[in-house]
């Protein structure tokens, strides 16, 4: 079985990380040959695991995710490769792949796509619903990374044929987070010591994420609590400005894009995921796997992952978030209980379980 995964890029993001970590495992299955095609290699963060495993990864030469020329390139690439299954991720990659498949007249591959978010701005415009009904109609299987993601997509498409829609939760390498050693806190900042209380959030500075609520919560927290913000993005400057405006420059550190997230989570005391919307919440699972209490926005997708293990706060409510943080630090017994429940929850999201589900889907197509 020859499989091609197509994604916009391997820049920072949950879908991109998923490709980098899951494809090498898929390739280990007998009788499966899997390759990766990316529309651009700009801002590449992930891909090392693919390279180490010897996975063939090609880049569309135009290096422009929105170029219509991608359709013709993908069409020819699929035909040349003789793929049995083509699996797309993210917009506009899922558009180009769907249209390219229509141009294949003989030996048409089975088409699979994964929906990675509960929301996108295209859903604010009715005419996109008609376009996407057409685009998604070409896919044999549509995988969603959470129940909320699937329900939102089906509602948007007004889907009648529900047999093509399935849910497969994202997964992570549990051992990587469980076994990695933490930093000494002073390695992160010379003014830190082992008693320093550290909060951490990993996520792009974009409209989807909501680091501003955590930053505002810092005003209601004791001065011995510090915040690490990992990531980059178009809105980072306004968050830096917010920190300065609130006068908490000495307690908030912007770390940029990092490749040592497991160690950062392991070193931190609490992991926070503050989002306006979320398809799944990979960072929440990673925080749990690192053995840390996780606090997250009560939004669809993310709440499914965290509820009953970690703690939830109303989206955008910085005071409630601060109260939850204070309560955890002031109540050692509760801290340990939440920590244990989070770690147990993480076991549900082992990447090997996710890959097994993907393999079942691929085999069901023949």
If one counts every other C-beta atom within 10 angstroms of the C-beta of residue 17, the result is 20
d(Cα 64, Cα 71) in Å, to the nearest integer? Answer: 12
- pLDDT at position 243 over 90: yes
Tell me how far apart the alpha carbons of residues 363 and 366 are, in angstroms, rounded to a whole number: 6
Q: Tokens 């529309």 sit at which residue?
A: 39
**What is the pLDDT, as a whole number, of residue 202?**
97
pLDDT grade, residue 31 (50/70/90)? very high
Q: How far is CA 309 from CA 130, 280, 360, in A?
A: 39, 15, 29
Euclidean distance between CA atoms 356 and 307, whole angstroms: 25
Quick one: average pLDDT of 27-39? Answer: 97
Output the pTM of the full model. 0.91
Q: Which CATH number fits domain 174-349: 2.40.110.10, 3.30.70.1350, 3.30.230.10, 3.40.50.2000?
A: 3.40.50.2000
For domain 2-171+350-364, give the fold. Answer: Rossmann fold (3.40.50)
Question: pLDDT tens digit string along 170-198?
Answer: 999 999 998 999 999 999 999 999 999 99
The yes-or-no verdict on residue 152 having pLDDT over 90 is yes
Mean pLDDT, all residues of the chain: 96
Beta bridge partners of 86: 4, 111
Q: Do domains 2-171+350-364 and 174-349 have the same CATH topology?
A: yes
Crossing angle of helices 282-289 and 14-26, in 10° steps, is 70
User: What are 311-335's pLDDT values in tens digits?
Assistant: 999 999 999 999 999 999 999 999 9
119 CB burial (10 A radius; 0-12, 13-18, 19+): buried
Name the DSSP class of 349.
G
Looking at residue 161, its pLDDT comes to 86
pLDDT-derived band at 17 (thresholds 50, 70, 90) equals very high
- Going by the DSSP 8-state scheme, the letter that residue 91 receives in this structure is T
Average pLDDT over residues 94-103: 98
- Residues 124-147 have pLDDT tens digits of 999 999 999 999 999 999 999 999
CA-based nearest residue to 209, from 236, 228, 227 = 236
160 pLDDT more than 90 = no
CB distance 286 to 173 below 8 Å: no
- Rounded to 10 deg, the angle between the 332-346 and 318-330 helix axes is 110
**Domain residue extents for the chain:** 2-171+350-364, 174-349
12 close to 257: Cβ distance less than 8 angstroms: yes
Give the pLDDT of residue 107.
Answer: 93
The rounded radius of gyration (Å) of the Cα atoms in the chain is 21
Q: Is the pLDDT of residue 268 over 90?
A: yes
301: nearest Cα among 123, 173, 87, 144: 144
Judge whether residue 23 has pLDDT over 90. yes
Three-state DSSP string of 19-78: HHHHHHHHCCCCCCEEEEEECCCCCCCCCHHHHHHCCCEEECCCCCCCCCHHHHHHHHHH
pLDDT at 361: 97
Q: How confident is the model over 203-212, as pLDDT tens digits?
A: 999 999 999 9
Q: Indicate whether 304 pLDDT > 90.
A: yes
């Amino acid at each position: 079985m020859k499989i091609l995964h197509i994604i916009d890029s391997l820049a920072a993001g949950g879908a991109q990380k998923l490709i980098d970590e899951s494809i090498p495992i898929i390739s280990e299955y007998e009788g499966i040959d899997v390759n990766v095609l990316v529309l651009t290699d700009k801002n590449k963060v992930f891909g090392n695991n693919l390279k180490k495993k010897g996975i063939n990864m090609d880049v569309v030469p135009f290096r422009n995710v929105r170029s219509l020329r991608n359709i013709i390139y993908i069409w020819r690439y699929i035909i040349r490769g003789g793929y049995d299954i083509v699996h797309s991720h993210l917009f506009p990659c899922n558009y180009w792949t769907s249209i390219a498949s229509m141009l294949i007249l003989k030996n048409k591959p089975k088409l699979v796509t994964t929906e990675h978010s509960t929301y996108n701005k295209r859903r604010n415009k009715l005419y996109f619903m008609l376009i996407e009904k057409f685009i998604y109609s070409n896919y044999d299987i549509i995988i969603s990374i959470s129940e909320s993601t699937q329900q939102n997509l089906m509602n948007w498409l007004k889907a009648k044929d529900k047999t093509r829609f399935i849910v497969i939760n994202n997964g992570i390498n549990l051992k990587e987070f469980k076994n990695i050693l933490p930093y000494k806190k002073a390695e992160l900042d010379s003014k830190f010591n082992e008693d320093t209380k550290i909060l951490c959030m990993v996520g792009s500075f974009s409209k989807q994420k909501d680091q501003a609520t955590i930053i505002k919560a810092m005003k209601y927290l004791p001065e011995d609590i510090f915040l690490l913000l990992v990531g980059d993005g178009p809105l980072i400057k306004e968050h830096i400005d917010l920190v300065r405006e609130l006068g908490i420059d000495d307690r908030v550190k912007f770390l940029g894009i990092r490749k040592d997230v497991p160690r950062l989570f392991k070193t931190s005391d609490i992991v926070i995921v503050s989002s306006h919307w979320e398809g799944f919440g990979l960072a929440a699972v990673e925080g749990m796997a690192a053995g840390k209490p996780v606090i997250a926005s009560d939004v669809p997708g993310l709440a499914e992952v965290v509820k009953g293990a970690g703690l939830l706060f109303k989206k955008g409510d910085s005071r409630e978030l601060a109260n939850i943080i204070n309560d955890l630090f002031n109540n050692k017994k509760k801290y340990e209980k939440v920590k244990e429940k989070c770690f147990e929850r993480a076991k549900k999201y082992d990447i090997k379980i996710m890959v097994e589900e993907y393999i079942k889907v691929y085999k069901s197509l023949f």
